[in-house]
Amino acid sequence: ALVSMRQLLDHAAEFGYGLPAFNVNNLEQMRAIMEAADKVDAPVIVQASAGARKYAGAPFLRHLILAAVEEFPHIPVVMHQDHGTSPDVCQRSIQLGFSSVMMDGSLKSDGKTPADYAYNVDVTRTVVNFAHACGVSVEGEIGCLGSLETGMAGEEDGVGAEGVLDHSQLLTDPEEAAQFVKDTGVDALAIAIGTSHGAYKFTRPPTGDILAIDRIKAIHARLPNTHLVMHGSSSVPQEWLAIINEFGGEMPETYGVPVEEIVEGIKHGVRKVNIDTDLRLASTGAVRRFLAQNPSEFDPRKFLAVSTVAMRDICIARYEAFGAAGMA
C-alpha cells in the first residue's frame, strides 16, 4: 500500500532502525528495490529527483511506483519527491499522488545558491501547510551538503550548491536545527555533516574531521523527537569501482560513507538514508562486465537483468545493515 513517510519513520524511530531511500529512474531500479524489500520483508521509500522526472517523465515514474504497489501489496511504499526547489514543484507532485515531498529550502529555487534562514523557513512552512492538509509528509533541509575536505559544495551532476561554502554552512548547527523544526513543523529533517551527492565524496576513507557523525549526536540530543535524514549516503563500494575499471571504465580513486558510520547515525536519530550513486555504480559495473564477457549478446533484457540483480543485492545489504529487514 502507498503510505506517507511519517508513518514509516515513526515506526522506524519506535523500533530504532533506519530506512534506505533509494532514487528511482527506471523499471530495473524499481524491480531491484521491490525484490529486495520483498525478500527481507522491509518497508520501502522510493524517491524521484528532478533529473528522474526529466529522464522518465513524471507520469511514467508515478505509474512505475503504483505498479510496484500493485505487484507487492503487502509492502508499504512511500512515493517521495526528492529535493523540491520550490513550493510549486512540491504542489505539482502532491497533485500527481506523491505521499511525501522534500522542500529543499537550503538552496534558492535555482537549486544552486545557498539561501538564508528566513527564506528556508518561508518556503518550507508554506509546503508543510498545504502538504499536511492532504496527509502528505514533508522533509526539509537545514545546512548545505558539501565537502569538509575542500570546502566545495555541489557535485558532478549538478545537484546541490555551487562554489565555496563556509565551514559553518557545511555543518548543521543544532540550535538552528531546533529552531527550524519549531518554525516549520517538518516531519523529517535533512542535515549537513560533510557528505555530498555523487561518487566523489572523499579522496580518502573518511575520518571524523571530514565525516561529522558526532554532529548527528549533537543534533539528536537537541531534537530527540525529530526524524533525521542523511543525504549523499552512498558507500561507493570499492568492489564495484574495481569491476567498472576492469571492464573499460575510467573512474578515479574515491570513497563514500561507510555503512558502519551510517549505522552509528541510526543509533542517534537518523531514520532516512538517501542512496542513489551505489545503485548506479552496481548497475554500470554489472552491465560493463556482462557486455565484455558476452560480446555477441544484443538482447538488452540480458544486460538489464544483471543490472537488476546487482542493484537488488545492494538494496538487500542496506535493508539488513540498517535494521529494516523484517519491519514491513
Q: Site residues (CB under 5 A) for Na ion?
A: 82, 102
Type of residue found at 272: K
Three cell numbers at 52? Answer: 528522474
What are the C-alpha distances in Å from 261 to residues 35, 89, 131, 326? Answer: 26, 33, 32, 22
Contact 48, 66 (CB under 8 A): no
Q: How far is the CB of 49 from ligand G3H (least distance, A)?
A: 4
CB closer to ligand G3H, 157 vs 313? 157
Q: How far is the CB of 292 from ligand 13P (least distance, A)?
A: 25
Long-range residue pairs from 94-98, CB within 8 A, at least 24 positions apart, any chain: 94/130, 94/131, 94/134, 94/136, 96/58, 96/59, 96/62, 97/2, 97/62, 97/66, 98/48, 98/62, 98/136
Query: Interface mask (CB under 6 A) for ligand G3H, residues 48-77, using x and -?
Result: -xxxx-------------------------
- The b-or-e profile of 151-171 (16+ CB within 10 A means b, else e) is ebbbbeeebbbbeebeeebbb
The verdict on 104 binding ligand G3H (CB under 6 A) reads no
- Out of ligand 13P, Zn ion, Na ion, none, which partner does residue 233 contact, by CB within 5 to 8 A per kind? ligand 13P
Using CB atoms, what's the residue nearest to Zn ion? 231
Q: How far is the CB of 218 from Na ion (least distance, A)?
A: 22
Q: Cβ neighbours of residue 312 under 8 Å, at least 6 residues apart? A: 31, 32, 33, 35, 36, 39
What are the C-alpha distances in Å from 190 to residues 138, 214, 250, 274? Answer: 11, 15, 32, 10
Query: Where does this chain touch ligand 13P (CB under 6 A) — which range of 12-20, 165-173, 276-284, 303-311?
Result: 276-284
Place of cell 537549486: 111
The verdict on 197 binding ligand 13P (CB under 6 A) reads yes
The verdict on 231 binding Zn ion (CB under 5 A) reads yes
Selecting among 38, 41, 82, 110, the annotated active-site residue is 82
Query: Where does this chain touch ligand 13P (CB under 6 A) — which range of 115-123, 181-189, 230-238, 242-250?
Result: 230-238
CA 215/CA 193 separation, integer angstroms? 7
3-state secondary structure of 150: coil
Residue 20 host element (H or E): strand 19-23
Footprint on residues 277-296 left by ligand 13P (CB under 6 A): 277-278
- Out of ligand 13P, Zn ion, Na ion, none, which partner does residue 93 contact, by CB within 5 to 8 A per kind? none
CB closer to ligand G3H, 26 vs 179? 26
Query: What's 75's DSSP letter?
Result: S
| Of 234, 283, 307, 308, the one binding ligand 13P by CB under 6 A | 234
| Of 111, 198, 285, 323, the one binding ligand 13P by CB under 6 A | 198
Q: Is 82 a catalytic residue?
A: yes
The verdict on 315 binding ligand 13P (CB under 6 A) reads no
| Of 11, 62, 80, 197, the one binding ligand G3H by CB under 6 A | 197
How many residues touch Zn ion under the rule CB under 5 A: the total is: 2
Contact 281, 237 (CB under 8 A): yes
The verdict on 53 binding Zn ion (CB under 5 A) reads no
CB closer to ligand G3H, 122 vs 157? 157
Comparing C-alpha atoms, which of 91, 61, 88, 90 is closest to residue 77?
61
Residues at the site binding ligand 13P, with contacts judged by CB under 6 A: 23, 82-83, 197-198, 231-234, 274-278
Q: Which residues are catalytic?
A: 82
Binding site for ligand G3H (CB under 6 A): 23, 49-52, 82-83, 157, 159, 197, 276
